């Protein structure tokens, strides 16, 4: 066999194998904004839409379930229920009708945070529409994060900023609650304000953080920081790749082998 023939055979075989692999993928029908497509099962809604030919220039950010850019609504055949999901997290199911919501208009109050106190009236003044909530709970049903949105709004109405902050901690500001709200509230902006006030004015300061800031200011890390600053890119990369990582299952008492900078 000539070298030329050998070279030719390799890629051809690989290509055939790839084609076979592709043929083994099961395709399922989904409807994107009313149009039918066949997409491989197991894809996320986002990837399925891309497979179908859509290109995201909005409504897509982290692809990891944290930025809230990809709020999506869908229905399944024979089910009256309108369901919600993050397109980057939910996987396709046969015959789903999918539509991504665009950015949903929501006014954010303007304020100088430094001038705000922890008084509940601060929230009432900035977002008087808070009291338009009719407790229908549509917001909770629309939350892809499973947050008790209406309970958090109720807490705010009662002036309990700490509780609203705790309940809304997982909010990623996708705006699906706002798109369904009969009272026309922008819940996610209210929650953001609640968490800011809670973090800055209500919760007690972390002692270990204050201690660490003091240690940094006293210069304990100056030498190592200066050494790092002088390193070349490849040295830094090597150091980073060889670093000791804290095991996922590590307990509170875990310490690295080198404790010089603890
Ligand atoms: S793209 Fe960020 S949450 Fe889906």
pLDDT of residue 3: 37
29-66 residues labelled b (16+ CB within 10 A) or e (exposed): ebbbeeeebebeeebbbbbbbbbbebebeebbeebeee
User: Which residues, at least 6 apart from 54, have a Cβ–Cβ distance to it below 8 Å?
Assistant: 32
Residue to mutate, 61, 72, 145, 175, ligand 1, most ligand atoms under 8 Å from C-beta: 61
pLDDT of residue 49: 97
CA of 34 to the centre of ligand 1 (A): 23
Pocket around ligand 1 at a 6 A CB cut-off: 60-63, 65-70, 86, 88
Instruction: Name the token pair of 96.
Output: 């789903």
Give residue-wise pLDDT tens across range 93-144.
999 999 998 788 899 999 999 999 999 999 999 999 999 999 999 999 999 9
Question: What is the number of the ligand 1 atom nearest to the C-alpha of 65?
Answer: 3
- The model carries a pTM of 0.76
Question: What is the number of the ligand 1 atom nearest to the C-alpha of 174?
Answer: 3
CA of 161 to the centre of ligand 1 (A): 27
CA of 226 to the centre of ligand 1 (A): 37
Give residue-wise pLDDT tens across range 15-49.
655 655 556 789 999 999 999 999 999 999 999 99
pLDDT of residue 7: 44
CA 193/CA 121 separation, integer angstroms: 12
Tell me if 188 sits within 8 A of 171, measured CB to CB: yes
pLDDT of residue 22: 58
* Alpha helices per DSSP H over 198-243: 207-217, 222-230, 233-241
Ligand 1 atom 3, closest CA: 65
Give residue-wise pLDDT tens across range 207-246.
999 999 999 999 999 999 999 999 999 999 999 999 999 9
């Amino acid at each position: 066999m000539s070298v030329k023939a050998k070279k030719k055979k390799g890629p051809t075989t690989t290509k055939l194998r790839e084609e076979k692999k592709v043929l083994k993928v099961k395709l399922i029908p989904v409807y994107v904004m009313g149009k039918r497509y066949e997409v491989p099962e197991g894809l996320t809604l986002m990837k399925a839409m891309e497979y179908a030919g859509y290109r995201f220039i909005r409504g897509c950010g982290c692809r990891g379930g944290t930025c809230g850019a990809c709020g999506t609504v869908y229905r399944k055949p024979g089910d009256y229920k309108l369901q919600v999901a993050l397109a980057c997290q939910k996987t396709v199911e046969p015959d789903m009708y999918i539509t991504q919501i665009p950015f949903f208009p929501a006014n954010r109050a303007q304020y100088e945070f430094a001038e705000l106190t922890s008084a509940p009236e601060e929230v009432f003044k900035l977002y008087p529409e808070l009291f338009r909530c009719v407790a229908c709970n549509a917001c909770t049903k629309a939350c892809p994060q499973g947050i008790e949105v209406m309970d958090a709004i109720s807490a705010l109405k009662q002036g309990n900023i700490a509780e609203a902050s705790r309940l809304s901690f997982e909010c990623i500001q996708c705006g699906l609650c706002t798109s369904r709200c009969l009272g026309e509230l922008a819940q996610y902006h209210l929650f953001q304000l609640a968490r800011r006030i809670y973090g800055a004015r209500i919760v007690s300061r972390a002692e270990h953080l204050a201690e660490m800031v003091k240690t940094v200011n006293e210069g304990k890390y100056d030498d190592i920081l200066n050494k790092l600053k002088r390193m070349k890119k490849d040295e830094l990369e090597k150091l980073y790749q060889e670093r000791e990582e804290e095991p996922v299952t590590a307990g509170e008492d875990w310490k690295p082998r080198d404790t010089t900078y603890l």
